[in-house]
Amino acid sequence: MFFVSKNSITIVLILFMFLPFSTKGSAASEMTKKLLQLKETSFFQETFDIVIHNEPRIVPDVKIINGNGDEINLSNLYGKKLLAIHFWATWCIPCIKELPTLEMLGSRINNEKFLIVPISVDRGKPEKIKIFYNDIDIINLQIFMDKQMAAARLLRISGIPTTILINEQGYEIARVIGDRDWSESNIISLIQNLIN
């Protein structure tokens, strides 16, 4: 959780994190229905600890920094069948182990339908992330930053790594808290199933 030095603001932020997001109507999306069906299978339960929303949730249009240092709206990235918004940091040991598996996942999935959006919460400039990617041999992941953690707060990220799955209409359908080996065949199959 993110704490501010003022006690009253801290309480408001904590309460805000537990209030439900607004949802899109009463009907669950096709992708949400698929996820809920898959959640009942044994491979899913063994492989993929995930919070699936019964109804898609509206995602606030947050601002992030791209690899060129330009501010963009997250909504500029909508339109793919599925987005994986992944919050991480260079000082987070589980994140460092997980990033190469995210890159492997991205290389195995049709990039016209699926996009990984790795958002670093590190302070500094995008060059810091470029150097870090180079050090751990990340070649194909894009660079995005949330230096003040404003996007993380608006999206209610309480720890890293956290990955939010967003459908093509821009609604959150699920959330993965903690690290995963995204290159596992079961996870690749799950993502392919969702976008086909």
pLDDT at 195: 87
- Tokens of residue 122, six digits: 């590190």
Q: Which residue has the tokens 């991480």?
A: 88
* DSSP state, residue 109: S
pLDDT tens per residue across span 57-103: 888 899 999 999 999 999 898 878 899 999 999 999 999 999 999 99
- Tokens of residue 128, six digits: 């810091």
Residue 155 burial by CB count (10 A; 0-12/13-18/19+): exposed, middle or buried?
buried
Helix axes 185-195, 30-39, angle to 10 degrees: 150
Of 10-14, 29-33, 41-45, the range with the lowest mean pLDDT is 10-14
Please state whether beta strands 82-88 and 114-120 pair in parallel, antiparallel, or not at all (unpaired): parallel
- Tokens of residue 150, six digits: 């404003």
Mean pLDDT of the chain: 80
Give me the phi and psi of 117, to 5 degrees please. -120, 90
Residue spans of the domains in the chain: they are: 23-195
pLDDT at 2: 38
Separation of alpha carbons 108 and 3, rounded Å:
38
Of 32-46, 53-67, 126-140, 158-172, the range with the lowest mean pLDDT is 32-46
Q: How far is CA 106 from the centre of its chain?
A: 13
Range list of H helices, 57-137: 93-108, 126-135
Assigned CATH for 23-195:
3.40.30.10
pLDDT at 187: 87
Separation of alpha carbons 144 and 19, rounded Å:
27
pLDDT tens per residue across span 93-142: 999 999 999 999 999 997 788 999 999 999 989 999 999 999 999 999 99
pLDDT at 159: 93
